[in-house]
Each structure stands twice: as structure tokens, then as C-alpha cells.
């Protein structure tokens, strides 16, 4: 089928700052605000497609930041795309191969192209990606708390809201006892732990103690770019290892699986460079019998909508970290907001990401906007 060229007249980068309802603490520190970009691509017919840059303002999770994303989009990604217009969003990631790494910058642009394409085709993004699910199971990720009591209270509150899978952040000194206590109080809870690279292989015997608490998995215990040591650790642990930070591309996923570095993959669209790459990893994981789930980056509504769309694919078997909007924000950027009932989010049926942008709310959290015209049109 010959398809039309996607003619993008301009791209608006909306820089926003949104305050989290409650600060989120990981093994690296505490996040109070999300300072990020919404990428709005506008075509010749005046249609808008939206992507969200999921990078944080500091490079603690991976190397990208809000500022590096802006730099890459403005100076490299858009000039390349404007010069080489595509017919289908799958071609965007092929073009972007000419630029090394920077997956979050790439994903934010590619996401806008996907949304626009889906809207043009009048199809929900999830369906276009090949997703069959109508509902997405979601859990909640709980940051490091000041005390065990605070952690139990927090979990209780989320269970009351209907969430049925809980992930807790752990780090040295805030791990075994906390998990043990949670297990005592919630013996049946689907529970997992995320270390964000807080340990080394020397902690193997310490981490082995977690095997007593039937965790669904332990996420990224070791180095953010490691495979070999995770493989070694996995041999010693009964608890399945899930990789997050280590998987930044299809090639990384291939390596991790080949080396038995993990039994589960947390897939984040931004971390792997976009929806096309995410779908490739999905297909690989399914063919290798590696279950997936969709992680989160404390996204606002647009990023969340993209995550929900990819989660509709069959290989996403565990509940994701893509909780409802109200777990993060007093008011989100989309209408309606994402709502989870009994830990389930219903996928929208409207074209594209399926949520409308709340322009009024966008203005309230706007820091500035930069418009980049396509001089090649």
C-alpha cells in the first residue's frame, strides 16, 4: 500500500514543570517535580500529534536529561526528520539510527509521529501497534519511605484504592527487614522490589535473603549497564531478576536474554528509543519466553497514554507501573485523566493516544515553548 508522506509543518516543544502530589524517593534521591517537554507535531492539515519526553532534569537514572533531550531534538532529530519526511512512523527509528543513543529524545519525537499517524488513520494507537487487550492491569511503585510504618501505611492506602501489585524501592539498609515486614502484613500481595542499581555482586548473599519472601521479581539490583554480573547473580537467586536500566535497545535485550542476565524485562518506551523499538523487543521477548511489563518514568498523561497503548500487546503479562493520573498529579494534562479501578485501566477507543490535551492545564504548568518550523516544506 502506498501511503502519503507525513508532512509536518512545525513542531512545538512545550517545556513544563509539574509538581508531584508526593515526592518520590529512589536509591539515588528524591524527585519533587517533573521538568520535561511535550512534543507537539502539527501537520499540513492542522492535526496535532503528541509525544512526551520522559527524561528527568538530572542524569541519575540514565544519562539523558531534560536539557540534553531539547538539544538533541532541536539540533539533530528534527532537522533529520524534516529533511527526510516519512510515510510511516516505523521509518522514524530507522532514520534516527544515524544518531547514537539518546533514546528518550528519539522516543519523544517518534511518539508524536505515531500519535499523528494513528489520528490520520482514525485508529487507536494500541490497535495500530497490534495490541488486542481492552484493559491494562496496573500496579503501583512506592518510593523509599522514612520508616517501615510509613511504607506499610502507603501500601495499605494503595490497596484500598484497588491496586493489586506493589513494587517497592529498596537500597542497602532499607531492604530485607522492610520486605519481611511487608510480607508479614500482606502475605498474599503481588510484591516486587526495585533497587535502581543500588548493589554490587558482593551483596549476592545479602540479596539471597530476599528469596524467602516470594517476590515476583527483583528489578535492576546491579550496574545500570551490566549484563554479566546480573547473569552471575541470577544463578545464585531463586527470585527472578528483571532488568530496567540495562535495556536501552533491541540489541541490549538480545544480549541480556542470550546471557541469561534476566528472566523478566521492564519495558519503557523512552528508555529504548520509541514505540517501534519497544515493539521489536516485545516480539523478541515473546519468541524467547521472557515475560514483559511496562515501567514508568513518573509520566504526565501523554507519556502515560503511550505506555498504556504498548501495554496492550500480549507479551505484557505482569501489571505495569502505569498507575492512574491521580497517583502522581493533582491535575493531569489530559482529558479524561487515566483512571485505574481495581488495578485496571480501560484503554480509550478514540484515535491516536485516545486522550485529549487539556490546553488550559498545559498553560498553567508551562515554563516556555519553542516552535520549530519545517523549512523543507
Contacts with ligand OSB, residue ranges (CB under 6 A): 61, 141, 194, 196, 244, 295-298, 321, 323
Q: Which does 113 bind (CB under 5 to 8 A by kind): Mg ion, ligand OSB, none?
A: none
Of 300, 304, 220, the C-alpha closest to 262 is 220
Q: Given the residues 106, 167, 268, 280, select the one marked as catalytic.
A: 268
Say whether 331 is catalytic.
no
Q: Which does 141 bind (CB under 5 to 8 A by kind): ligand OSB, Mg ion, none?
A: ligand OSB
CB closer to ligand OSB out of 298 and 309: 298
Q: Which stretch binds Mg ion (CB under 5 A): 3-11, 121-129, 166-174, 236-244?
A: 236-244
On the 0-12 / 13-18 / 19+ scale of CB atoms within 10 A, 183 is middle
CB closer to ligand OSB out of 40 and 321: 321
Site string for Mg ion, 180-199 (x = CB under 5 A): --------------x-----
**CB of 15 vs ligand OSB, minimal distance in Å:** 19
Of 374, 333, 377, 324, the C-alpha closest to 357 is 333
Opening angle at CA 291, ends 288 and 294, nearest 5: 130
CB-based closest residue to ligand OSB:
296
359 backbone dihedrals φ, ψ, rounded to 5°: -60, -35
Q: Which stretch binds Mg ion (CB under 5 A): 58-66, 240-248, 277-285, 309-317?
A: 240-248
Q: Before 336, cis peptide (omega within 30)?
A: yes
Contact 355, 306 (CB under 8 A): no
Of 247, 239, 234, the C-alpha closest to 282 is 247
**CB of 340 vs ligand OSB, minimal distance in Å:** 12
**CB of 167 vs ligand OSB, minimal distance in Å:** 6
Number of residues that bind Mg ion (CB under 5 A): 3
Of 242, 260, 256, 262, the C-alpha closest to 196 is 242
User: What's the CA gap between 48 and 112, in Å, rounded?
Assistant: 8
Is residue 244 part of the contact set for Mg ion (CB under 5 A)?
yes
**CB of 368 vs Mg ion, minimal distance in Å:** 30
The catalytic site residues sit at 169, 268
Amino acid at each position: 500500500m502506498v501511503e502519503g508522506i507525513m508532512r509536518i509543518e512545525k513542531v512545538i516543544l512545550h517545556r513544563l514543570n509539574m509538581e508531584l502530589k508526593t515526592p518520590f524517593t529512589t536509591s539515588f534521591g528524591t524527585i519533587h517535580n517533573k521538568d520535561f517537554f511535550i512534543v507537539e507535531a502539527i501537520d499540513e492539515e492542522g492535526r496535532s500529534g503528541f509525544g512526551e519526553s520522559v527524561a528527568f532534569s538530572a542524569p541519575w537514572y540514565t544519562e539523558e536529561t531534560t536539557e540534553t533531550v531539547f538539544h538533541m531534538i532541536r539540533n539533530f532529530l528534527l532537522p533529520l526528520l524534516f529533511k527526510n519526511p516519512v510515510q510511516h512512523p516505523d521509518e522514524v527509528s530507522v532514520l534516527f539510527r544515524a544518531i547514537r543513543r539518546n533514546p528518550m529524545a528519539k522516543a519523544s519525537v517518534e511518539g508524536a509521529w505515531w500519535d499523528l499517524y494513528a489520528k490520520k488513520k482514525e485508529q487507536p494507537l494500541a490497535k495500530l501497534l497490534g495490541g488486542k487487550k481492552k484493559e491494562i492491569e496496573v500496579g503501583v511503585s512506592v518510593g523509599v519511605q522514612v520508616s517501615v510504618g510509613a511504607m506499610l501505611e502507603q501500601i495499605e492506602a494503595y490497596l484500598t484504592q484497588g491496586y493489586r501489585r506493589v513494587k517497592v524501592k529498596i537500597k542497602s539498609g532499607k531492604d530485607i527487614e522492610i520486605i519481611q515486614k511487608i510480607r508479614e502484613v500482606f502475605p498474599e500481595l503481588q510484591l516486587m522490589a526495585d533497587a535502581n542499581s543500588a548493589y554490587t555482586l558482593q551483596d549476592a548473599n545479602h540479596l539471597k535473603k530476599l528469596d524467602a519472601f516470594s517476590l515476583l521479581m527483583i528489578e535492576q539490583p546491579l550496574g545500570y549497564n551490566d549484563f554479566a554480573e546480573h547473569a552471575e547473580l541470577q544463578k545464585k537467586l531463586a527470585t527472578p531478576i528483571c532488568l530496567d536500566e540495562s535495556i536501552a535497545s533491541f540489541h541490549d535485550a538480545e544480549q541480556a536474554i542470550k546471557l541469561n542476565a534476566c528472566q523478566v524485562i521492564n519495558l519503557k518506551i523512552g528508555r529504548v528509543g520509541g514505540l517501534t523499538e519497544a515493539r521489536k523487543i516485545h516480539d523478541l521477548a515473546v519468541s524467547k519466553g521472557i515475560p514483559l511489563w511496562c515501567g514508568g518514568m513518573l509520566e504526565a498523561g501523554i507519556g502515560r497514554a503511550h505506555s498504556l497503548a504498548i501495554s496492550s500487546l500480549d507479551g505484557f503479562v505482569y501489571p505495569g507501573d502505569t498507575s492512574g493520573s491521580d497517583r502522581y498529579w493533582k491535575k493531569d494534562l489530559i482529558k479524561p485523566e487515566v483512571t485505574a479501578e481495581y488495578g485496571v485501566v480501560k484503554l480509550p477507543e478514540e484515535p491516536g493516544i485516545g486522550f485529549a490535551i487539556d490546553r488550559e492545564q498545559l498553560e498553567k504548568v508551562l515554563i516556555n515553548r519553542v516552535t520549530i518550523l519545517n523549512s523543507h516544506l
